[in-house]
């Protein structure tokens, strides 16, 4: 059997510590290829470049067979990696490790999740991995969970989905376990703003931003709550945008 081939990407940029932690961990069991943004592209969501030139630069990265920095988005990295750079040669796409959680409705903004979703659209198994934000993140534990859980997902799944993994910022021995989370909640960004004038133009200065739940609840079936309680949260994600449970309501709206 040929050796497993993994494509690693992220939205924090090719020089990020989280990306390097994944390369170190997955290179133990697989041939690792990297296509990652040349700089941070957080909150780019699923922006995809459909025409024009995208600059690419080959890099030397320890643990990676091939590595490229791409002047594009996380979704671009996966799209061009699968469709052009490594055609039909990738067994698993791993996106992360993101510096900060990607949970519940925050996934709408996430470039980390979008990279995994792009692989899913191309029918390639994928995982997105995020680590709870702290002053001094240690990515090694999250990388280990990514490898172990990613391989279980790749080898044993029976249905079509991509996997979202969120890891609490705790020492490995302090993590309580792994929870499969089947519920979501709305999380919103709370910012501080100020209005400023500069060079004859008006600017809104976004001073700070932090994520908070729309409604507080202790339900551990919700990914954010599971992480806050000390668990690794797993969620199976897909690309189904149509709410089948609302079809009857829409029919009634049109009457």
**CATH code of 246's domain:** 3.40.1210.10
The answer to whether residue 190 is domain-embedded is no
pLDDT reported for residue 190? 65
Q: What is the domain count for the chain?
A: 1
pLDDT reported for residue 179? 96
Split at pLDDT 50, 70, 90, the class of 213 is low
Residue of 234, 237, 216, 214 whose CA lies nearest to 226: 234
Residue 255 or residue 188, greater confidence = 255
In the predicted model, what is the mean pLDDT of residues 230-253?
A: 90
pLDDT at 28 over 70: yes
What Rg, from alpha-carbon coordinates, does the chain have? 19
**Domain hosting residue 86, numbered range:** 5-183+218-253
Residue of 51, 55, 61 whose CA lies nearest to 9: 61
Mind listing the pLDDT tens digit for each residue in 67-83? Answer: 999 999 999 999 999 99
Lowest mean pLDDT among 3-17, 113-127, 173-187: 173-187
The answer to whether residue 205 is domain-embedded is no
pLDDT at 57 over 80: yes
pLDDT at 1 over 50: no
In the predicted model, what is the mean pLDDT of residues 5-14?
A: 97
The predicted model scores a pTM of 0.91
């Amino acid at each position: 059997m040929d050796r497993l081939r993994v494509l690693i990407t992220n939205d924090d940029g090719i020089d990020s510590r989280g990306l390097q932690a994944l390369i170190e961990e997955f290179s133990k069991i697989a041939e690792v290829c990297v296509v990652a943004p040349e700089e941070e592209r957080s909150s780019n969501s699923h922006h995809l470049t459909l025409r024009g030139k995208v600059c690419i630069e080959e890099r030397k990265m320890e643990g990676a067979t091939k590595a490229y920095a791409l002047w594009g988005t996380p979704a671009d990295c996966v799209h061009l990696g699968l469709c052009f750079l490594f055609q039909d040669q990738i067994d698993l796409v791993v996106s992360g490790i993101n510096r900060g959680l990607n949970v519940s409705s925050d996934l709408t903004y996430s470039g980390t999740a979008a990279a995994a979703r792009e692989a899913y659209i191309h029918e390639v198994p994928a995982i997105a991995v995020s680590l709870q934000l702290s002053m001094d993140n240690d990515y090694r534990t999250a990388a280990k969970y990514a490898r172990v859980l990613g391989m279980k997902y790749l080898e044993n799944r029976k249905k079509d989905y991509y996997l979202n993994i969120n890891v609490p910022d705790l020492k490995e021995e302090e993590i309580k376990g792994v929870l499969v989370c089947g519920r979501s909640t709305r999380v919103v960004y709370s910012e501080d703003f100020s209005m400023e004038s500069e060079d004859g133009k008006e600017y809104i200065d976004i001073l700070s931003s932090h994520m908070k739940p729309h409604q507080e609840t202790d339900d551990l079936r919700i990914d954010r709550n599971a992480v806050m309680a000390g668990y690794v949260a797993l969620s199976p994600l897909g690309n189904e945008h149509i709410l089948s449970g609302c079809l009857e309501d829409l029919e009634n709206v049109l009457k």
